[in-house]
Amino acid sequence: MLSPQALGCDWRLLLVSKQTCVGQLAGKHDVYQLNKIAVLPLSDTETPDLDLDLCKMHHFGMRQTDRITQNSDGQGKSLVKALNTIKSAAENVVPKKKEEKDKNLKEKFEKRILEELIKMYNESDSFYYCKSHDLTNTIQRQYGSNYDNDLDLWQRCDKRFFWNLHMMQELMEIKTDLSSHWILPIMHGCIDIHHCCMDFNESTRDLSPVMPKPSKDPISYCLILISRRSRHRAGTRSKRRGLDDAGACANYVETEQIIEFSHHRVSFVQVRGSIPVYWSQTGVKYRPPPKLDKVLTRSKVFDSYLDQS
């Protein structure tokens, strides 16, 4: 993915405008599901059109229309209306020069990218984040010798499941405490957290009155399911298959099942993905046999990828 500067586009800031807490990990780490984002342009050439929800603490009893009225005076409204009129008129003019045509094509391409990005985050309900816990690594990896808890969250997370890595690349290269505050890994997949209870009294109600009933208190525990989707070679099954030269498997998903009971935590991990070889298939309507494109040979890049997993 190219940066906005490489594409000749203006910088934008993506804000999480709506999220839902799906539960807690280890009883103290809140996990949020990303439901809606807002795009804030960082230039003077574009008027921001933010659809942000009001803060319930600081805007109690205030309506959305009231906020707009208070935050914008008559002169500002006139200016925005004039800019929108000029922009609408400029879009209807047929470009006569090649520079104008290229500019319109770039704006159309940029608009399409933004629409796809907003649609991906706002309509999928499959992006999650946690400010105090690493969602990208399994429990086994977090207790490994190579895992350093003293590092920032983005420095110790698994880069395979760091979906906004390219967006944070510029800030990551700065490597300061001020920039680290704005870097938060977002995971793509599914997280389901359920609190369960085993009531032994309910299971012994139908026993004979002569038989002694066990006097055990109900046991509560937590069931957690985390599915992490790799950002490498993600796509539909008919278009993304096999491996690449770095050893990344198409549509790779790591599913971890966790049981939390008292201070104990156990997990079971399963992985799935495309057939880990170089292969292709011409169409799927008549189910033709898969064709091996080339023989897989191990390399240093592939070995390093295996070490990460």
**What are the tens digits of pLDDT across the range 93-111?**
555 566 777 777 877 888 8
Handedness of CA 54, 60, 65, 68 (dihedral sign): negative
Beta 219-229 vs 29-41: how paired, if at all? unpaired
Once rounded to an integer, what is the mean pLDDT over residues 215-237?
87
Which of residues 129 and 64 earns the better pLDDT score? 129
Most confident of 210-214, 222-226, 297-301: 222-226
Which of residues 264 and 96 earns the better pLDDT score? 264
Contact 17, 36 (CB under 8 A): yes
Distance CA 113, CA 101 (A): 18
Percentage of residues of the chain with pLDDT beyond 90 = 29
Task: Look at residue 30 and tell me whether its pLDDT is greater than 70.
Answer: yes
Instruction: State the Cα angle at 294 between 291 and 300, rounded to 5°.
Output: 140
Radius of gyration of the chain (CA): 26
Neighbours of 78 (CB within 10 A): 10
Task: Look at residue 20 and tell me whether its pLDDT is greater than 50.
Answer: yes
Amino acid found at 296: L
Once rounded to an integer, what is the mean pLDDT over residues 268-292?
79
Distance CA 40, CA 34 (A): 17
Neighbours of 127 (CB within 10 A): 21
For 251, phi then psi, to 5°, come to: 50, 50
